[in-house]
Amino acid sequence: MQIRYAVAGMPIQHSLSPILAVLTANHLKQAGLEVEVEQINLLESDNVTSPMAWAWVNKNSDIEVHNPLYGDPSTAAAHSRLHRVSSAVLSKVKTADSDHVPHGETLFHDSIERIKTRRGENESWISLTSPLKHLLSTRSGVYPVDSSLENGAVNQLRWDGNNWFCAGTDGHGLVSLARHFGADFELEGVDSPLLCMIGGGGAARSCAAAWSDAGGSIWSMGGRRPLDKRGSWFEKLISGDRVVDHIGTRIFIDFDAEPGVPADIRTADSDLQIQSSYNSQEVGSVVEHSKSGIQLDGRWLLTAQHLEAWARIFSPEAAHLLPGLGLTMTRLLAMESALMND
């Protein structure tokens, strides 16, 4: 299967998704899956029709977008470099850094129905970022594999040559990440994991839906856009005056952070603080422990939702072959470092 992969949105030049796409595809190739990422593009756009048109036309984007680490991935030189460095990282990094698997490895097939997916010989996959996640609707002629269309929270598209399919994996990624760092969704009531969330855009709605489905509670803390109170998460919302009585694990995330410019978040009121953004030019510690809790770099959320995309829409029949979250994070950091020194 030949894959054309793109990341679309605005801004887009900071994205590390192409690195994750190459790492994941090459891992699956080593596991025996016939998948080849033959083209990668960064598509800067504020409308969703442009990237969808890209999927129908077998050519590169006319607009070059450069990432500081890997350049313009649509060029042959940058594309070849990504695959070369990825192969070197995969051969070298076989296990996860111990700090990246605090409670053991997280895999992405236990809750996925391994269905046979109709495949085209050539497919186009697109990861959507802001401001595109809410632009598709139930009238768009796209087949959803989840509730992302009705929630205005689509961040993954797959074109198989005949039909469009979509999914929203931001929320599933957040739930998987919270579990990875110890959140127990088997607990109920005031003991359940509490998501303290700023924002109400596509990513926030996706996370509210997945969090409530998993059994967690949500405190919507406002933001530039309020979280819709009519969503499937309504019954899991709690008011600010009830938060003080909630004793479950608290996770804080601010979805209003500017893409590519993560803000420092340190609050004693949460056990786990997750950045919703990251700086692709900085490779440092992605897990920090302090008196105010554990702070996670935005790469964690990106990596978790990317693996969920492979498991839920890109290649669900091969979800059992996907690398774990901790291993993928370790490889991502290794590849960033290798690209900087290449």
Contacts 24+ apart (CB under 8 A), 110-113: 112/311, 112/312, 112/316, 112/319, 113/316
Residue 62 is predicted with a pLDDT of 59
pTM of the model: 0.94
Q: Give the residue from 310, 272, 301 showing the smallest Cα distance to 102.
A: 272
Kindly list the structural domains of the chain, giving each domain's residue range(s) and its CATH number in brackets, ordered by start. Answer: 2-169+305-341 (3.40.50.10860), 172-302 (3.40.50)
Integer Cα distance of 91 and 87 in angstroms = 6
Which residue is it, tokens 């050539």? 122
The conformational region for residue 47 under phi > 0 = left, psi -120 to 50 = alpha, else beta, is beta
Angle at 186 between CA 183 and CA 187, to 5 degrees: 80
* Residue 110 confidence (pLDDT): 65
Q: How far is CA 85 from the centre of its chain?
A: 22
Burial class (CB in 10 A: 0-12, 13-18, 19+), 205: buried
Tens digit of pLDDT per residue, the chain (342 long)? 899 999 999 999 999 999 999 999 999 999 999 899 999 999 999 999 999 999 987 666 557 799 999 999 999 999 999 999 999 999 999 999 999 999 999 999 765 555 556 666 789 999 999 999 999 988 888 999 999 999 999 999 999 999 999 999 999 999 999 999 999 999 999 999 999 999 999 999 999 999 999 999 999 999 998 898 888 999 999 988 889 889 999 999 999 988 877 766 766 688 999 999 998 877 778 999 988 789 999 999 999 999 999 999 999 989 999 999 999 999 999 999 999 998
CA atoms of 208 and 171, how far apart (whole Å): 7
**Taking a C-beta distance cutoff of 8 angstroms, is the pair 192, 170 a contact?**
no
Q: How far separated are the first and last CA of the chain, in Å rounded?
A: 29
User: Is the bond leading into 259 cis (omega within 30 degrees of zero)?
Assistant: no
Of 13, 20, 21, the residue nearest 38 (C-alpha): 21
Q: How far is CA 288 from its chain centroid?
A: 20
DSSP type of residue 321:
G
Degrees (nearest 5) of the Cα angle 142, 64, 135?
25
At residue 118, the pLDDT reads: 63
Spatial contact of 6 and 309, defined as CB atoms under 8 Å apart: no
Token pair for 193: 């994991």
